[in-house]
Amino acid sequence: MLTGSMVALVTPFRKGRVDEKALRGLIEFQIQGGTSAIVPCGTTGESATLSHSEHNRVIELTVKAVRGRVPVIAGTGSNSTAEAIALTRHAKKVRADGALLICPYYNRPTQEGLYRHFKAIAKAVDLPLVLYNIPSRTGRLIEVDTLARLSEHDSIVAVKDAVENVEFTSQTVSRVPGLPVYSGQDSHTWPMMAVGAVGVVSVISHLAGRMVAAMVEAALAGNMSEARRLHHELLPLCEACFLETNPTPVKGAMNRLWEPVGDVRLPLVAASEETLIAVEKAVGAIQGL
């Protein structure tokens, strides 16, 4: 079972194209910072505006750059089952260690439709699959009963929970004990781990990776007082990084504080100066801790 702090990797762009050099550098930076896994082509990676060829290229480059040092969990979800299967097959072909599958969006399937969607992917591709529950983005919740049915498939190994409801997390942990839960919302990581989550797929790890990893490690070790302390230290950064649509604040801050990762793609627009000042202030407050 994979545990720890995993980074939801941004996709660097330069002059409208994927910046492959910056991507390699970012991956190296994250590995040296102690990430437990690299998760490319998710929400933070702007998968919605990547072409299929770009999407596949980013995953292939990530696997090659990581060189087996940590797992690569490739974002391969779609609201089209056939498209999700194709993307997941490619991830397996280039030797990703697993796939992250977002709940289908826009077409609003029933719970039976969700079950059949994920089941079809699990049957089509022999690869560990992490479900991604984020109703604020998709307009659909994978309910606990559906998660329980899906957990019966050997290749469905975990769920990334961005439901932003700790009671829902508690129900998932208690009613589906064989399905590990990862936080998908940085500000909720410690509260979710307090009720049984085993890690986070983090956005703020781009800016405070070692500290996020330390918080998760403390919680996994049962040192909840230390995890709680780190949670409160990180909370202003969590809040600042989500003042505008993810990943605009974190990409803007990285351009100033790390190395250029480029702009977000339309219809997203660059973060405001006010937001970037808030992120920089939050980063400055935790440096050296």
Residues 201-212: tens digit of each pLDDT:
999 999 999 999
Residues 195-241: tens digit of each pLDDT:
999 999 999 999 999 999 999 999 999 999 999 999 999 999 999 99
Res. 289: pLDDT tops 50: no
- Non-local CB neighbours of 195 within 8 Å, separated by 6+ positions: 166, 169, 170, 173
**CATH label, 4-220, candidates 3.40.50.150, 3.40.50.450, 3.20.20.70, 1.10.10.10:** 3.20.20.70
Which residues are paired to 75 by β-bridges? Answer: 100
Other Cβ atoms less than 10 A from the Cβ of 64: the count is: 13
* pLDDT of 259: 83
- pTM metric for this prediction: 0.96
* pLDDT of 287: 59
- Non-local CB neighbours of 80 within 8 Å, separated by 6+ positions: 104
Res. 10: pLDDT tops 80: yes
Long-range contacts of 50-58 (CB under 8 A, 24+ apart): 50/11, 50/18, 52/86, 52/87, 54/18, 55/87, 56/87, 56/90, 56/94, 57/18, 58/11, 58/18, 58/23
Q: Is 50 exposed, middle or buried, given 0-12, 13-18 or 19+ CB atoms closer than 10 A? A: buried
Beta-strand pair 17-18/13-14: antiparallel
Q: Which amino acid is at 125?
A: V
Question: What is the rounded (10 degree) CA torsion for 261, 206, 33, 183?
Answer: -140
- Cα–Cα distance for residue pair 52/130, rounded to 1 Å: 20
Assess contact for 121 and 88: CB atoms under 8 A. yes
Res. 61: pLDDT tops 70: yes
- Cα–Cα distance for residue pair 238/216, rounded to 1 Å: 15
Domain residue limits, the chain:
4-220
Long-range contacts of 220-228 (CB under 8 A, 24+ apart): 220/3, 220/4, 220/193, 224/194, 227/190, 227/193, 228/190
Of 105, 119, 160, 281, the catalytic one is 160
- Cα–Cα distance for residue pair 185/276, rounded to 1 Å: 20
Assess whether 115 carries a catalytic annotation. Answer: no
Of 115, 132, 182, 251, the catalytic one is 132
